[in-house]
Amino acid sequence: MNELRELYQEMILDHNKQPRNFYALPGATHVLEGYNPLCGDKLKLYLQVENGSVRDISFEGSGCAISKASASMMTDAIKGQSVEAALALFEQFHAMLSGKADAAPESLGKLKVFSGVNEFPARVKCATLAWHTLKSGLVGAHGSVTTEDEG
């Protein structure tokens, strides 16, 4: 059961119970939908992008603990960041979860609590749903994304 503790760390459980930035953002410049057809989980991401920065960010939706906590912690990490920095963070997060990075870089900060998800292949998409949705918004692709778009 130790792997379960690795997966469901305190911080993840906390964000699952009390997700941060969990509301519809008035004045959003981008509204995006993420969808995981495997489990039917849906996520709505609100971005307020101004002058190349994510001035504000929020989300709504239902999902498992991993997807909800990941979305919540992502909004905390992204708020106030430049679009470039946000996309760089996406790459680092994605590399950590797909096992491509040897070790999670320090720059991921608190997001390193998701490194344990690597051991649960069926759950990787739960952790990356919000991030894929974010990326699609930042690179300008509007509309709906699904976790099936990327291998």
Number of H helices and E strands in the chain, helices first, is: 5, 4
Site residues for other proteins, window 19-78 (CB under 8 A)?
38-42, 62-66, 68
β-strand pairing of 53-62 with 41-50 = antiparallel
Q: Is 146 in the site for other proteins (CB under 8 A)?
A: no
Residue 85, burial from CB neighbour count under 10 angstroms (0-12, 13-18, 19+): middle
CB of 122 to other proteins, least distance (A): 7
CB of 12 to other proteins, least distance (A): 9
**Location of structure tokens 């603990």:** 65
CB of 13 to other proteins, least distance (A): 4
CB of 64 to other proteins, least distance (A): 4
131 close to 70: Cβ distance less than 8 angstroms: yes
CA distances from 49 to 29, 30, 43, 145 (A): 6, 8, 19, 19
Q: Binding string to other proteins for residues 102 to 131, with x set by CB under 8 A, is what?
A: ------------------x-xx--x-----
Binding site for other proteins (CB under 8 A): 1, 3-4, 7-8, 10, 13-14, 16-17, 38-42, 62-66, 68, 120, 122-123, 126
